[in-house]
Amino acid sequence: MKTLALIIVSLTLVLESYADVSSIISLNVFNQMLKYRNDARCPSNGFYKYDAFITAARSFNGFGTTGDVATQKKELAAFLGQTSHETTGGWATAPDGPYAWGYCFIREKNQADKYYGRGPIQLTHDYNYAPADRSAGRVPGYGVITNIINGGLECGIGADSRVADRIGFYKRYCGILGVGTGDNLDCNNQRPFSVK
Q: Model-level pTM greater than 0.75?
A: no
Q: 130 or 31, which is more confident? A: 31
The one catalytic residue in 16, 75, 86, 154 is 86
Q: What's the rounded Cα separation, in Å, for the pair 182 and 180?
A: 6
Which stretch, 2-6, 69-73, 123-127, 148-152, has highest mean pLDDT? 69-73
Q: Is 86 a catalytic residue?
A: yes
Q: 166 or 12, which is more confident? A: 166
164 has a pLDDT exceeding 90: yes
Q: What is the pLDDT of residue 43?
A: 87
Q: What is the pLDDT of residue 24?
A: 95
Average pLDDT over residues 49-56: 91
| Contacts of the segment 23-28: beta carbons below 8 A, 24+ positions apart | 24/64, 24/69, 24/72, 24/73, 24/76, 24/177, 25/53, 25/54, 25/57, 25/64, 25/76
Q: What is the pLDDT of residue 113?
A: 54
Q: What is the pLDDT of residue 17?
A: 44
Q: How confident is the model at residue 71 (pLDDT cuts 50, 70, 90)?
A: very high
Q: What's the rounded Cα separation, in Å, for the pair 141 and 183?
A: 6
Question: CATH topology for 21-177?
Answer: Lysozyme (1.10.530)
Q: What SS3 string covers 117-186?
A: CECCCCCCCHHHHCCCCCCCCCCCCHHHHHHHHHHHHHCCCCCCHHHHHHHHHHHHHHHHHCCCCCCCCC
Q: How confident is the model at residue 16 (pLDDT cuts 50, 70, 90)?
A: very low
Average pLDDT over residues 1-16: 48
